[in-house]
Structure 1
Amino acid sequence: MHAAATEAQSAALRTLLRSLGQIVLQPNAFTGACLLAAWLLTDGRLACAALMGAVAANVSALLAGYRDADTRAGLHGFNGALAGLAAFSFIADPATAAAVTILAATGTAWLLAPWSRWLRARGLGVCSSPCLIVTWLWLPTMTSATSPASAVPLHVHGAAQWSSGVLASLAQTGFAPGALAGLLVLIGIAAASRRHALGALSGAALASAAHLLLGASTGSFDAGLLGFNGALTALALVDCGVMPMLGGVALAVVLQAAAADFGWPVMTAPFVLATWCMQRLLQRVTRRAIAAEPAQRTKRASPITTPATRAN
């Protein structure tokens, strides 16, 4: 009995940590532990928010009868964790933030099934869209939302400052501040996939550079606010090839820059929209290639006309 209870507790802990790891698209418990360490080292409130949201979403998924395999992989908990992180980032009062976290995380879990079915029918992934939808529903009622930083003239960054800003971008994928948190996130991603870690670094660096060239605030760069959508987009598309990944990162930059001009709190919406656009584009390219294949086979199989054949 004691062994069974211990095993159940261990499985529950792994599920919780995988839910956190899925924030950076890694179904890995160690990745989740690295994100948790990043929050604990920088802001304990964020750690509580992520854990609270993930637990609420996973319990809601269990009550809704969702597939256990998906729950164990962290697919039902990570949007809840993100909803909690958003609540504690935008709401100053801890009690209000905690209440919103539980309600929002539960909402992401109940929204997930019908919304994911609709997206799958169109060949699209869920990403962090449930968190975005739920957060946008309550965010207009709050007055403590952060405003975008004002632009300052672009200046050349040193290697240390550049590295710090890029790592801070990785930290911002989980709403955490600072290069140390970003380094922990990078270690967690690399433990699951070195390819994905390289993609995340490349996406964060390219997106940050592009935003700076477009005149974005250097303060925003130092805080990691310029590169996190690029990092997430690269993570989502790195397995599709270099060109789709670069195209997705470029599109995420354009969308984030456009939203910043209007002062919209888009969070990870540029990542989600850029990923969806590239997924649709890849589907069209694949369909055209499949449609063209029979014609190519027919062309290759057609008999070669020889002089003797023409004479006959």
Structure 2
Amino acid sequence: MYAATTQAESTALRTLLRSLGQIVLQGNAVTGACVLAALLVCDLRLACAALIGTVAANVSAVLAGYDEHETRAGLHGFNGALAALAAFTFIADDATAAATAILAATATAWMLHPWRRLLRRFRLGLYSSPCLIVTWAWLPLVRLAAHPDAQNGVGAASYLEAIHGVLAGVAQTTFASGTVSGLFIIAGIATSSRRHAFWALSGAALASGGHLLMGATPSSLDAGLRGFNGALTALAVADCGAGVTVAAVALSVLLQQAFGYFGWTFMTAPFVISAWCGHGFECLKIGHRMRSRLTEK
């Protein structure tokens, strides 16, 4: 009896950590532990939010009768974690943020299957799109604090400042911030795949550099706000080849600039759209190759 209970608790813990790892597209419990460590280093409030969202989404997935193996792989919990992180990021009052986080995380879980069926018709992946849809649904209903405009102009960033900006961009993939949090997340990704860790850093660096060339301020680079979509995009399309990955990261930069120009809350939308485009291009390329081989035969 005790052994069965211990095994169940161990399984639940691994499921929770894998869900956190899936935020950076790694179904690995050690990666998830590093993501949690990154959030703890940054802000205990964010760490609690991620746990609340993950648990709410996973419980909802179990109640909905979703595939148990997918739940254990973390595929049903990470959007809940992201939705909860968004709630605690945009809502200052803890009680309101907690209530919104639980409801939003639950909603991401319940919408997974119908939304995934729709996306599969177009051969597109879920990524963080459920979190985006749910967050955009409640975001207009709350009053967001006004953020002061950053000063204009881009100074010459030092080597250390550039490293900080890239790592901060990686940290922002989980709504965390700072160099230490970024290092934890990179370490977690490297535990699962050193190749993916390389692309996460490269994506953040390419995106940050692209935004600087387009007139972004050093302060936004320091906060990691310019690199996280590039990091996630590179992680998502790394298997499509270097050319497609770089092009997809560039697209994420352009999309983020466009979203910012119109004043829209973009979060991870540039990443999701760019990843869709990257995989869509890869599917077209594969289809063209197959048709060419059939024609040759």
- TM-score interval, normalised by the smaller of the two chains: over 0.9
Q: Distance in 2 between matches of 1:77 and 1:146?
A: 31
Cα distance between partner residues in 2 of 1:139 and 1:28: 31
CA distance in 2, matches of 1:51, 1:41: 15
Q: Which residue of 2 aligns with 1:174?
A: 174
Runs of 4+ in 1 over 4 A off after TM superposition: 145-149
Question: Which residue is equivalent to 2:77?
Answer: 77
Whether 1:215 and 2:222 are equivalent positions in the alignment is: no
- Separation in structure 2 between the aligned mates of residue 148 and residue 250 of structure 1, nearest angstrom: 27
Q: What are the within-5 Å matches in structure 2 for residues 132-211 of structure 1?
A: 132-144=132-144, 147=147, 149-150=149-150, 152-211=152-211
Report the residue type matching 2:252 in the other structure.
Answer: A
Aligned-partner SS, 2:275: helix
Which has the higher mean CA deviation after the structures are superposed, 280-289 or 242-251?
A: 280-289
3-state SS, counterpart of residue 173 of structure 1: helix
Asked if the contact 1:149–1:217 (Cα under 8 Å) also holds between the matched residues in 2, the reply is: no
**Which SS does the other structure have where 1:115 is aligned?**
helix
Deviation at 1:284, TM superposition (A): 1.4
Q: Does 1:21 align with 2:21?
A: yes
Please say if 1:57 is aligned against 2:53: no
Structure 1 residues 186 and 35: alpha-carbon distance in aligned structure 2, compared to 1, 3 A threshold: same
SS of alignment partner, residue 111 of structure 2: helix
Q: CA separation in 2, counterparts of 1:156 and 1:45?
A: 34
Identity %: 60
* Separation in structure 1 between the aligned mates of residue 28 and residue 239 of structure 2, nearest angstrom: 17
Which string of whole-angstrom CA distances, capped at 9 and with x for unpartnered residues, describes residues 194-253 of structure 1?
000000000000000000010012110000000000000000011111011011100000
1:247–1:108 CA distance, 2 compared to 1 (3 A):
same
- Cα-to-partner distance string for 1:9-31 (whole Å, 9 max, x where unaligned): 00000000000000000000011
Pairwise mapping of residues 1-312 of structure 1 onto structure 2 (< 5 A)?
1-144=1-144, 147=147, 149-150=149-150, 152-297=152-297
Q: What letter is aligned with 1:8?
A: A
Please say if residues 165 and 221 of structure 1, whose CA atoms lie closer than 8 Å, have aligned partners that are also in contact.
yes
Structure 1 window deviating more from structure 2 (187-196 vs 115-124): it is 115-124
Aligned length: 297
Distance 1:153 1:144, change over 3 A: same
Amino acid at match of 2:187: I
Once the two structures are TM-superposed, the CA of residue 152 in structure 1 deviates from its matched residue by: 2.0
In structure 2, what is the Cα distance between the partners aligned to 1:148 and 1:213?
22
What amino acid sits opposite 2:235 in the alignment? L
Change (3 A) 1:249 1:148: farther
Structure 2 residue aligned with 1:301: none
Aligned residue type for 1:128: S
Structure 2 match to 1:305: none
Relative to structure 1, the CA distance from residue 113 to residue 151 in structure 2 (aligned partners, 3 Å threshold; closer, same or farther) is: farther
Residue by residue, what CA displacement relative to the aligned partner does 1:262-307 show, whole Å, maximum 9, x if unpaired?
221110000000011111111112112111212112xxxxxxxxxx
1-structure distance, mates of 2:270, 2:145: 18
Please state whether the residue corresponding to 1:250 is helix, strand or coil: helix
- Distance in 1 between residues matched to 2:286 and 2:227, nearest whole Å: 30
Kindly indicate whether the alpha-carbon contact (under 8 Å) linking 1:152 and 1:217 is maintained by their aligned counterparts in 2: yes
Query: Retained in 1: the 8 A contact 2:128–2:268?
Result: yes
Question: For 2:267, what is the secondary structure of its paired residue?
Answer: coil
Give the structure-2-normalised TM-score. Answer: 0.98
| Greater gyration radius | 1
Q: Please tell me whether the aligned partners of residues 147 and 263 of structure 1 are also in contact (alpha carbons under 8 angstroms).
A: no
TM-score normalised to structure 1 length: 0.93
SS, match of residue 51 in structure 1:
helix
Aligned partners of 1:164 and 1:119: how far apart in 2?
36
Contact 2:157 2:218 in 1 (8 A): no
User: How many angstroms does 1:145 deviate by?
Assistant: 5.3
Q: CA deviation at 1:148?
A: 7.9
Structure 2 gaps of 5+ residues are none
Verify the 8 A CA contact 1:152 1:218 in the aligned structure 2: no
Contact 2:255–2:270 (8 Å) recurs in 1? yes
Q: In structure 2, give the amino acid aligned to 1:153.
A: G
Distance 1:287 1:241 in 2: 16
Maintained 8 Å contact 1:149/1:219 = no
How far is the alpha carbon of 1:121 from its aligned partner? Answer: 2.1
Counterpart Cα distance in 2 of 1:148 and 1:78? 31
Q: Which amino acid aligns with 2:178?
A: G
Residues 233 and 16 (structure 1 numbering): CA distance in 2 closer, same or farther, change over 3 Å? same
Contact 1:151 1:215 in 2 (8 A): no
For the Cα contact (< 8 Å) 2:132–2:269, is it kept in 1? Answer: yes
